[in-house]
């Protein structure tokens, strides 16, 4: 190995170590800055529903619930649309429309979240309020659709998050589909597959990348702040209802950090940031494990059974 190769390996290795150090430093600092809350509440901070700064009682459960609920709801709404856009652009779109659609998709990803929030307040919330008002009474008796038709609430937050993560998921999924070798589609056609079946074969071949695109969108939804803050209602209550105002971890930090009147209040908000940091790490770890297991399955070579001998003439 030459000196230049060794130097290049050392420099790039230092970059990798620096990345690990940055993540560790963030976790360490969040832990250090939330010492008072950790000492006072312990693991009860994760499962307590009370958030009362006046009494000095703090619990993160409503914010954990609101963050996961809104993100999973957005993921469920956005994934089919995002994959449909990716498949259409990569496989079915006419050549003259491909570049305009790619540009519009990437433009949606570049819009600031505050703009999405303003659009949500003036357009989405009134539309959701009208939808909630038209909900039949039979459905409103169910816990999922209970509550007054306020417009602001979990449904609005899930919808705006879904709109925000569609460009990220569809762009990555589109590039993954473009990287599928043409031989995969040609082999499917040679076996008599229809166009739909050939596209399904390409999706199966690229499934690890598609899962990575979906998890990228999920991570984007977990950390979104301003747009969700403006439409979710900001009420620290655990509720299953889509119509109920709720709260997220990023939103409570953004709303109350400047108003923290004492050290315990400030440390409780920092600990919420630590909880969000841990949840993000866990979600990314689980997604990497899922992608790794799928990639390992893809690399597994299946040896077919020998064919039975045909009848002799």
pLDDT tens-place string over residues 210-223:
888 898 889 889 88
What kind and span of H or E run contains 52?
Answer: strand 51-52
What kind and span of H or E run contains 269?
Answer: helix 263-299
Query: What pLDDT, on a 0 to 100 scale, did the predictor assign at position 67?
Result: 94
**Mean pLDDT in residue range 275-290:** 88
Torsion of CA 121, 127, 133, 139, to 10 degrees: -110
Spatial contact of 203 and 132, defined as CB atoms under 8 Å apart = no
Q: What is the pTM of this model?
A: 0.87
Beta pairing class for 57-58 and 51-52: antiparallel
**Mean pLDDT in residue range 246-252:** 93
Query: What pLDDT, on a 0 to 100 scale, did the predictor assign at position 299?
Result: 59
pLDDT(255) > 70: yes
What's the gap between Cα 291 and its chain centre?
15
Question: 3-state DSSP: the chain helix, strand, coil percent, rounded to 5?
Answer: 75, 0, 25
Average pLDDT, the chain: 87
Query: What pLDDT, on a 0 to 100 scale, did the predictor assign at position 159?
Result: 95
Of the listed ranges 75-84, 106-115, 192-201, 284-293, the one predicted with least confidence = 284-293
**Mean pLDDT in residue range 127-154:** 91
Euclidean distance between CA atoms 115 and 122, whole angstroms = 11
Task: Give the model confidence (pLDDT) of 90-133 as tens digits.
Answer: 988 888 888 999 998 888 888 999 999 999 999 999 999 999 99
**Mean pLDDT in residue range 282-305:** 69
Query: What pLDDT, on a 0 to 100 scale, did the predictor assign at position 209?
Result: 86
For residue 107, which of 195, 168, 37, 32 has the smallest C-alpha distance? 168
Give percent of the chain above pLDDT 90.
Answer: 51
**Mean pLDDT in residue range 246-254:** 93
């Amino acid at each position: 190995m030459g000196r230049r190769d060794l130097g290049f390996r050392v420099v790039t290795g230092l970059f990798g170590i620096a990345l690990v150090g940055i993540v560790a430093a963030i976790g360490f600092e969040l832990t250090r800055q939330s010492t008072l809350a950790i000492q006072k509440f312990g693991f009860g901070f994760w499962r307590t529903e009370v958030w009362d700064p006046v009494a000095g009682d703090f619990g993160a459960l409503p914010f954990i619930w609101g963050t996961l609920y809104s993100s999973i709801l957005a993921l469920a709404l956005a994934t089919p649309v995002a994959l449909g856009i990716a498949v259409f652009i990569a496989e079915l779109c006419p050549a003259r429309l491909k570049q305009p659609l790619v540009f519009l998709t990437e433009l949606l990803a570049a819009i600031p979240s505050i703009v999405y929030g303003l659009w949500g307040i003036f357009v989405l919330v009134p539309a959701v309020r009208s939808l909630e008002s038209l909900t039949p009474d039979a459905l409103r008796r169910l816990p999922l659709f209970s509550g007054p038709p306020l417009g602001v609430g979990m449904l609005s937050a899930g919808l705006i998050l879904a709109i925000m993560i569609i460009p990220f998921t569809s762009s990555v999924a589109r590039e993954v589909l473009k990287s599928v070798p043409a031989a995969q589609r040609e082999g499917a056609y040679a076996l008599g597959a229809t166009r739909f079946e050939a596209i399904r074969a390409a999706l199966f071949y690229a499934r690890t990348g598609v899962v990575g695109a979906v998890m990228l969108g999920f991570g984007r939804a977990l950390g979104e702040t301003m747009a969700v803050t403006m439409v979710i209602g900001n009420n620290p209550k655990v509720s299953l209802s889509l119509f109920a105002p709720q709260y997220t971890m990023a939103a409570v930090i953004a709303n109350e950090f400047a108003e923290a009147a004492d050290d315990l209040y400030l440390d409780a908000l920092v600990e919420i940031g630590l909880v969000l940091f841990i949840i993000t790490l866990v979600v990314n770890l689980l997604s990497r494990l899922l992608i790794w297991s799928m990639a390992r399955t893809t690399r597994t070579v299946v040896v077919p059974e020998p064919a039975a001998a045909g009848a002799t003439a």
